[in-house]
């Protein structure tokens, strides 16, 4: 049995699965073909359904259903997505805690995990009751944790907690998710160099659909808080083409504490689905990806107005999360009140790190040393951490 994926078969299966035929703007076919080519060449999938196969198939079905949603609910196209900020730090820099602090404010909102996994209503589901998707997401989390038992120690996963919008961007086939879960290094470098504006425009459309559903459930429209390292890893210029004035929150941490941890997360995602994954090759790949991303960020930063990027040090988030959250809300132009502080304190209490297993990894497993990382990222450390 071949483990190769076929774009034509994937498209046809999506049409058959949904009974739909309209994919809308076909710009996505170029990154889809590129992704499939790299998966077939480098990923060493144990089966066509493992890892990328199932993810790509589901993404194509969602693209069909997205187009149909706008046909069924044309008023959704009028939804305005007000983006309060995007958290853009490298992974493992405290960005998840900052995300949860800001999103806890009654004045702001963020995507739920179940919304990113199932952004469109299931068959027979009403807009007023997303319970079927929430239950499906809970089942998915249980399955994911059974497949990747180490993941709970790396990143909190909860169907009813907030999540990154990069999962929606997976449907565009320009996403850091793919080279994080498979050894397709060339694809990662390729996607980082593309124009991500079409992908971010698709993200906007997914957000319109999600916001339209929330309004149908009687929820008030609120400004959104985005968060994903994917912006530094390729998509930031695209984000700014769609939301040019968005505030950017950049989380900072010593890369020697970040890079091996991220390599460990990628290993947990890859080892069960790939025969070609090699731990010792990951350090060099992600060193280059991080370095290239930070270089692109600095180039963009030089052209942005002063104050559009707000810098946050990991140590400050850990030592004073409530103070950090309050300062950030104020920096976004929002007056933080007692309800905001109560909500942020609840988020702090609910997300204490010691409630999860310890994350165990070794830099040497990935061909890394602390001294080597410090040398590679000396300029970044000097600018933001000294």
57, 9 contact by CB (below 8 A)? no
188, 289 contact by CB (below 8 A)? yes
DSSP string, 365-384: GGT--HHHHHHHTHHHHHHH
Average pLDDT estimate for 326-352: 95
DSSP SS3 for 104: helix
**Region 83-122+129-174+197-384: CATH code:** 3.40.50.300
pTM: 0.95
Distinct helix (H) and strand (E) counts, the chain: 19, 4
Q: What's the pLDDT score for residue 68?
A: 98
User: Distance between CA atoms of 319 and 314, rounded to whole angstroms?
Assistant: 9
At 369, the pLDDT band (50, 70, 90 cuts) reads: very high
Distances (CA, A) of 291 to 42, 287, 298, 378, 379: 23, 6, 11, 11, 10
- Between residues 115 and 273, the one the model is more confident about: 115
In 108-150, which ranges are continuous DSSP H helix?
A: 113-117, 131-147
Mean pLDDT of the chain: 94
Mapped to the 3 state alphabet, what secondary structure does 349-363 carry? Answer: HHCCHHHCCCCCCCH
Asked whether residue 144 carries a pLDDT value surpassing 90, the answer given is no
Token look-up 């300062």 returns: 327
Bridge partners (DSSP) listed for residue 86: 226, 248
User: Distance between CA atoms of 86 and 292, rounded to whole angstroms?
Assistant: 20
At 356, the pLDDT band (50, 70, 90 cuts) reads: low
Bridge partners (DSSP) listed for residue 227: 87
Cβ contacts of 293 within 8 Å, gap of 6 or more: 90, 192, 232, 233, 234
Average pLDDT estimate for 76-102: 97
In 3D space, the residue among 144, 141, 155, 35 whose CA is nearest the CA of residue 91 turns out to be: 155
Q: What's the pLDDT score for residue 1?
A: 45
pLDDT tens track for 120-132: 999 999 999 999 9
**For the chain, which residues make up each domain, given as ranges?**
83-122+129-174+197-384
DSSP SS3 for 200: helix
Q: What's the pLDDT score for residue 154?
A: 62
pLDDT tens track for 319-337: 999 999 999 999 999 999 9
274, 183 contact by CB (below 8 A)? yes
- Phi, psi dihedral angles at 102 (to 5 degrees): -65, -40
Average pLDDT estimate for 129-156: 83
pLDDT tens track for 263-320: 999 998 887 788 898 999 999 999 999 999 999 999 999 999 999 999 999 999 999 9
10 Å Cβ neighbour count for 271? 12
At 186, the pLDDT band (50, 70, 90 cuts) reads: very high
């Amino acid at each position: 049995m071949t483990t190769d994926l076929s774009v034509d078969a994937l498209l046809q299966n999506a049409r058959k699965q949904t009974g739909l035929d309209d994919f809308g703007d076909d710009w996505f076919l170029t990154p889809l073909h590129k992704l499939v080519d790299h998966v077939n060449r480098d990923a060493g999938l144990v089966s066509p359904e493992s890892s990328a196969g199932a993810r790509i198939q589901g993404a194509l079905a969602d693209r069909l259903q997205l187009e149909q949603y706008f046909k069924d609910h044309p008023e959704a196209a009028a939804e305005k997505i007000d983006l309060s900020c995007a958290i853009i730090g490298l992974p493992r820099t405290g960005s998840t805690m900052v995300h949860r602090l800001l999103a806890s404010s009654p004045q702001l909102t963020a995507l739920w995990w179940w919304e990113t996994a199932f952004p469109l209503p299931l068959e027979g589901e009403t807009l007023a009751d997303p319970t079927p998707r929430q239950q499906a997401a809970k089942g998915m989390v249980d399955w994911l944790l059974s497949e990747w038992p180490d993941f709970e120690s790396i990143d909190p996963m909860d169907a009813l907690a907030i999540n990154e919008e990069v999962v929606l961007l997976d449907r565009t086939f320009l996403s850091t998710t793919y080279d994080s879960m498979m050894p397709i290094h060339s694809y990662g470098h390729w996607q980082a160099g593309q124009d991500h504006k079409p992908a971010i425009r698709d993200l906007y459309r997914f957000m319109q659909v999600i916001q339209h559903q929330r309004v149908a459930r009687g929820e008030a429209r609120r400004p959104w808080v985005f968060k994903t390292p994917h912006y530094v890893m390729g998509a930031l210029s695209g984000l700014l083409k769609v939301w040019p004035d968005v505030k950017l929150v950049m989380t900072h941490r010593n890369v020697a504490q970040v890079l091996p941890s991220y390599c460990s997360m990628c290993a947990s995602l890859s080892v069960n689905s790939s025969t070609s994954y090699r731990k010792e090759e990951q350090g060099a790949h992600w060193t280059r990806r991080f370095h290239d991303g930070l270089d692109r960020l600095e180039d963009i930063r030089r052209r942005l107005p002063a104050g559009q990027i707000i810098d946050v040090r990991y140590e400050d988030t850990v030592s004073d999360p409530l103070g950090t959250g309050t300062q950030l809300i104020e920096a976004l132009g929002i007056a933080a009140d007692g309800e905001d502080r109560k909500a942020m304190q609840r988020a702090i209490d609910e997300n204490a790190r010691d409630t999860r297993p310890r994350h165990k990894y070794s830099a040497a497993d990935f061909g890394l040393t602390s001294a080597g990382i410090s040398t590679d990222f000396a300029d970044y450390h000097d600018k933001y951490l000294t």
